[in-house]
Structure 1
Amino acid sequence: MKPSCRLLPVTRVALMGAQMDVVTPDTVMDFIAGTRGRQTIIANHNLHSLYLFQKCADMRRFYAQADLIEMDSTPLILWGKLVGHEMSRANRCTYLDFREDFWSRAAEEGWRVFHVGGAPEHNQLSKDAILRRHPRVKLEVRSGYFDVNGPENDVLLKDIAAHRPDVLLVGMGMPRQELWILNALDRLPPCAILPVGAAFDYEAGVMNTPPRWAGQWGIEWLVRFLYEPKRLFTRYFIEPWTLIPFVMADLLARRRAPVNQYESGARQNL
């Protein structure tokens, strides 16, 4: 983990074959504020990302670069509790849960926010929706539909650099958004970088937004599946089976180590 300019004590744990941090949305907001003016990556893990993490070396490289790794999956958190980690539903960090706090903080502290993602015809819809709720926010949006290896990518990177954002939100879906960040990292400005998936599609109203109680009860995945069964069947019903060896490893580690020695990272100063 790279050092930062603000000390935040955070517990880092090993879970299902990967490292992640036990944080709350407030911790994430404080981290963004405390590292303003520095390039940092705030990544996130769920069952889909863990599958990609095991299958793709570049995804492992991306997470190795991350300064903070949220958990945005209630089932993952419940599993962590089961094997002895101190965590709760309060440690779930996902855009739809913390978006109002994020935009309020962005408005109050004058964060310049730049979002890359979504279809071009939806960009203005998402921006308008956010500005209706938080009119003082400084927000730029650009489409995520471009060739990451073509000249459009160069134009976009120059545009981002010119706007000097404090926060860069990248919503192009896993693993495209993570790999774009990884490959563009040396050309991105000093800012907090967060992959946020379909966050702005929800803002634009072009994707169904699951009720927030579904996330807290760990069934948001089921609500999403009911709306998009064809696209999400493999993600929710096939991919998790590949994680069984790592589930077994967690159980074995739990049996071998007492609870007070089980936190792999103890307290990380972020």
Structure 2
Amino acid sequence: MTRPRLTLLGLPLDPVTLDEALGRLESWLDAGRPSAHTVVTLNPEFIMQARAEDAEQGGESAFTQAMRRADLVTADGVGIVWAARRLLGEDVPRAPGFDLASGLMRRRGAQLRVFFLGSKPGVAEAAAAAASSQYGVQVAGVHHGYFDRNEDQRVAELVRESGADLLLTGMGAGRQEMFNEYWRDVMNVPVMLGCGGVLDVLAGTAALAPDWTRRAGVEWVWRVAGDRKRWGRAPRLGQFVLLVSRQSRSGGRS
């Protein structure tokens, strides 16, 4: 029985297991076109960034709107699991972005046409080659993520013309979710997943966190500690803990 969607700190959250999430993605693939669904893998950084953008704009930001309109929002990390238990009294399973992408490619294999969009020039090509070799998927197309917003329509039309079944969009928090949401009807891809650094992991330019950190749900600690480029993101994690603690003390449920 499917559990109803939750609202965590003003954003949607679907309490689905990894298998349930993959089953839903496969049902969208089986439904065929016209069909366009967006998937968000929610983490503490998303929540803090969206709240900051909402405050700056004096209302709901495009990032927040994209997450609200997503067809599936899963818990990416242990921070979301902890917050849902603390604020909502709900046990929410994790369904991280890498596990969704790799799981779907493993299940569908050669039946699946994938467009790899994001990261630096050359990375999407390497990710596509690795995914084709490891999972047997068809490569619908590739494009780096370093393009200006005035090129969004061109890239969206490129994705549409590719006939992709799955779009992996790795352009960073906010940018990837907004791109998928805004251009969803143009691209008309059954499953569009904002996947962060998944392309880098597939390409071998970034390491997947060790199994023990993934089992414990604390791979973000390993990543932040091991990559100086991520150190600037650490304060947001601290802010998230404080936000959840304040909400919990005040009895907040939003």
Q: For 2:105, what is the secondary structure of its paired residue?
A: helix
% identical aligned pairs: 22
Pair 1:9-2:2 in alignment: yes
Q: For 1:22, what is the secondary structure of its paired residue?
A: coil
Contact 1:51 1:243 in 2 (8 A): no
Summarize the alignment of residues 222-233 of structure 1 with structure 2, pairs less than 5 Å apart. 222-229=221-228, 231-233=229-231
Pair 1:19-2:12 in alignment: yes
| Residue 104 of structure 2: aligned partner | 102
- 1:64 corresponds, among 65, 68, 71, to 68
Distance 2:123 2:226 in 1: 20
- Give CA deviations for 1:204-252 in whole Å, capped at 9, x if unaligned: 11113211320221321221112213x2223223453266345433454
Q: For 2:129, what is the secondary structure of its paired residue?
A: helix
| Residue 153 of structure 2: aligned partner | 154
Distance 2:100 2:192 in 1: 16
> Aligned-pair distance for 1:101?
2.2
> Aligned-pair distance for 1:93?
1.2
- Give CA deviations for 1:97-149 in whole Å, capped at 9, x if unaligned: 344422122216x22221211222222221221122122x1123221121221
Contact 2:37 2:184 in 1 (8 A): no
Distance 1:243 1:187 in 2: 38
Distance 2:28 2:100 in 1: 19
Distance 1:226 1:96 in 2: 20
- Give CA deviations for 1:135-176 in whole Å, capped at 9, x if unaligned: 2x11232211212213xx333222211122222111111122
| Residue 57 of structure 2: aligned partner | none
Q: 1:144 to 1:253 in 2, by over 3 A?
A: same
Pair 1:235-2:233 in alignment: yes
| Residue 196 of structure 1: aligned partner | 195
- Give CA deviations for 1:52-98 in whole Å, capped at 9, x if unaligned: 2212211111112111110101122133234453425xx21113334
**Which letter does structure 2 place at the counterpart of 1:182?**
E
How many correspondences in the alignment? 242
Pair 1:214-2:213 in alignment: yes
Distance 2:236 2:14 in 1: 26
**Which letter does structure 1 place at the counterpart of 2:239?**
W
Contact 1:51 1:240 in 2 (8 A): no
Q: 1:242 to 1:75 in 2, by over 3 A?
A: closer
Contact 2:176 2:194 in 1 (8 A): yes
Q: For 1:165, what is the secondary structure of its paired residue?
A: coil
CA RMSD of aligned residues (A): 2.4
Higher RCO by CA contacts (8 Å cutoff, separation 6 or greater): 1
Q: For 1:209, what is the secondary structure of its paired residue?
A: coil
Distance 1:58 1:223 in 2: 30
Pair 1:93-2:95 in alignment: yes
| Residue 142 of structure 1: aligned partner | 143
For structure 2, the 5+ residue unaligned runs are 54-60
| Residue 4 of structure 1: aligned partner | none
Q: Show structure 1 runs of 4+ deviating over 6 A.
A: none
Contact 2:12 2:68 in 1 (8 A): no
Distance 2:156 2:106 in 1: 27
- TM, length-normalised to structure 1: 0.80
Summarize the alignment of residues 125-136 of structure 1 with structure 2, pairs less than 5 Å apart. 125-135=126-136
For structure 1, the 5+ residue unaligned runs are 1-7, 255-261, 265-270
- Give CA deviations for 1:2-39 in whole Å, capped at 9, x if unaligned: xxxxxx72332232342211111211211112123311
Q: 1:238 to 1:103 in 2, by over 3 A?
A: closer
